[in-house]
Every structure is written in structure tokens, then in C-alpha cells.
Amino acid sequence: MDVKQNLEKILTTIPANVKLIAVSKTKPVEDILSLYNSGQRLFGENRSLELTEKFQKLPADLKWHMIGHLQTNKVKIITPFISLIQSVDSFKLLKEINKEAEKTKRTISCFLQFYIAKEESKFGFDYNEATQMLESVEFTFLKNIKIEGVMGMATYTDNLLQVRNEFKTLRNIFNDLKRNYFSAKPEFCEISMGMSSDYLIAIDEGSTMVRLGSLLFGNH
């Protein structure tokens, strides 16, 4: 099946209120264009250099999300054009994004990434770390970032109950943050969770945005 057919099939399984991010890391621009021509506009990449190269080659109305760990020294490469940074995993990184956004006179949409998996390698805040940041005076100085939601990755495991519980954890984190820090911020409304192997569970647990790579592009 080609990527257009994959997209059509996947879209029948996703409710209208859930956004699809096509995760195009390592995939050729031809495949991305093919999805673009089918109407897909949201794409996710996890490396800043690859992301920048693809941005330069592809139509300007395509919206790029950074979804991978971002080093502070790479922030300035993507701030001129990035649509949303989903993988904000430290206060230091958020401050750097704000600084570079200010230079380009932009306000950059961000999600806070939370660590919900039982795996060593995954990045993200824990709840206390995030609330300390949100309650700090320094945070109130950040005028060029806008926090619009949370992102998380479940453990890569066959134990679907564990996966479901991790998604529940992220949804609860979102609800607590919404109530305690963002009740007056309607833009704080997204829960980005769910990948190829677990997106249906994620939707069931309240995901508003799924990030699909291999299911959409295949494994070539």
C-alpha cells in the first residue's frame, strides 16, 4: 500500500476531534509530499537538522512539530519556522526557546513532555518539577512561549494494561495542570499521546493528538 492509502485507512479510525501528526523522521520528501497532496498538513520530526532540511524543500503551509529531545544549542535552528515544540522537557530548554523566539519576534507554541514510561531512556518532566517551574517568578517573564498542552510516550511493551495506565497518568496530569495553572488559558487544551502501536488506546484515554510514523509510512 502507498502512503496515501495508509492515510485514508488510518483517518477512518481517528475521531474528528483528534489531530493526526504524520511522523516523517527518516522518510523521504516524496512520501511527505504525497501525504501533503492528500491534505495532510501536520508533520513531526525528531532531529533539528533533518527537520530544517525538509522545511526548506517542502511547501510553506506545512506545519512542523518538533517531537524529539531538543538540545539547547539547536533551538535557534528551528525557532524561525517551527509550528510547535512538543518535546519541552526542562525549564532550561523552555527559557532558551523563549529567548530565541524573542529574537525572531515570534511566540512559539509548546507542549510540556512528561515522563510516564517505565523506561530509562525517555525524557520529560515529572509533575513536581513542572509545577515548580509553573509557580516560579522566572516563568512569568517568558512572554514568547505559549504552553498549549502535554505530551508523553508510553512504555514499549505488549502489556496493554500498563500502556493504558500510563496514558491515564498523562491525562490526569493534564487535568491537574489545567485546573491549577491553566484554567484561564483556553489554548491549553491538547494531550499528545499515542503512536502506531498504541494510538487507539490513547484515543480511548483522552488523546487529542496522535503521532503516527511506521503505520503511515511503512518501515522502509
All residues at 6 or more sequence positions from 58 whose CB lies less than 8 Å from its CB, including other chains? 29, 32, 33, 36
Query: What's the longest Cα–Cα distance across the chain?
Result: 53
Q: Give CA angle at 114 (111, 119), nearest 5°.
A: 140
Residue 103 burial by CB count (10 A; 0-12/13-18/19+): exposed, middle or buried? exposed
Binding piece for ligand PLP, criterion CB under 6 A, among 4-12, 93-101, 117-125, 192-200: 192-200
Binding mask 36-55 for ligand PLP (x = CB under 6 A): ----------x---------
Round to whole Å and give the CA distance between 147 and 190: 10
Q: Is 213 in the site for ligand PLP (CB under 6 A)?
A: yes
Q: Report CA 70 to chain centroid distance, whole Å.
A: 12
Q: Is 109 in the site for ligand PLP (CB under 6 A)?
A: no
Round to whole Å and give the CA distance between 79 and 74: 9
Q: Is 207 in the site for ligand PLP (CB under 6 A)?
A: no
Q: Is 211 in the site for ligand PLP (CB under 6 A)?
A: yes
Q: Is 195 in the site for ligand PLP (CB under 6 A)?
A: yes
Q: Is 67 in the site for ligand PLP (CB under 6 A)?
A: yes
Question: Minimum Å distance from CB 207 to ligand PLP?
Answer: 12
> CA separation (Å) from 58 to 5, 37, 41, 54, 132?
21, 11, 11, 6, 39
Binding piece for ligand PLP, criterion CB under 6 A, among 75-83, 91-99, 171-179, 194-202: 194-202
Nearer to ligand PLP, 144 or 155 (CB): 155
Question: Minimum Å distance from CB 113 to ligand PLP?
Answer: 8
Among 3, 23, 32, 117, binds ligand PLP (CB under 6 A): 23
Structural element, H or E, at residue 109: strand 108-114
35 closest CA partner among 17, 56, 62: 62
Q: Is 196 in the site for ligand PLP (CB under 6 A)?
A: yes
Q: Is 150 in the site for ligand PLP (CB under 6 A)?
A: no
Q: Which residues bind ligand PLP (CB under 6 A)?
A: 23, 25, 46, 67-68, 153, 195-197, 211-215
